[in-house]
Amino acid sequence: MTMNALLVLALTTPLIALLKGKPAVYNVAVSAGLYALGFGMLAFAGGPAIFLVSAAVWTAGEIVNATNAEVFVANHTPMSHRGRFNAVIPVLGGLGWSLSTPVGGEIIHRFGMGALWAAMFGVAAAAGLGLAALGRGERAATIPGAAISEASAPSPSAPLPAIGAE
């Protein structure tokens, strides 16, 4: 826990600067990739060093996600529904927290701890690849009337810039 807190303090500004100006969808995909790598490492953990490296990697993913996820959601919801999405997202997150213990416990019971971390790698990697594909699709074409292009001209329905973008 202390390592995580210190890394958040040390890495937040450099990570924001590194990803400055990138579309939020790209940054959230990078976040998912970091989660996949960090949690996937735990499937092969054999000593304390791998736990520390894993924590550093998923903490970087946590930072990137925390500074871009809400921007991503705002960019992909109509203005008239943003409040609803912002109300429902914590409920869905809570559902994930509630289900993770019994589902994770069952995976560990049936298949072992390594299988749980391998499954978390798979889930995070699939999410990252899906977000990357969404980002490629957004670059290839924009949908008229939808606020999904981060390069669009400023207007009341224009997407919010990623944190650190000017």
Residues 11-61 pLDDT 10s: 999 999 999 999 999 999 999 999 999 999 999 888 899 999 999 999 999
Residues 110-135 pLDDT 10s: 999 999 999 999 999 999 999 999 99
HEC states along the chain?
Answer: CHHHHHHHHHHHHHHHHHCCCCCHHHHHHHHHHHHHHHHHHHHHCCCHHHHHHHHHHHHHHHHHHHCCHHHHHHHCCCHHHHHHHHHHHHHHHHHHHHHHHHHHHHHHHHHCHHHHHHHHHHHHHHHHHHHHHHHHHHHHCCCCCCCCCCCCCCCCCCCCCCCCCC
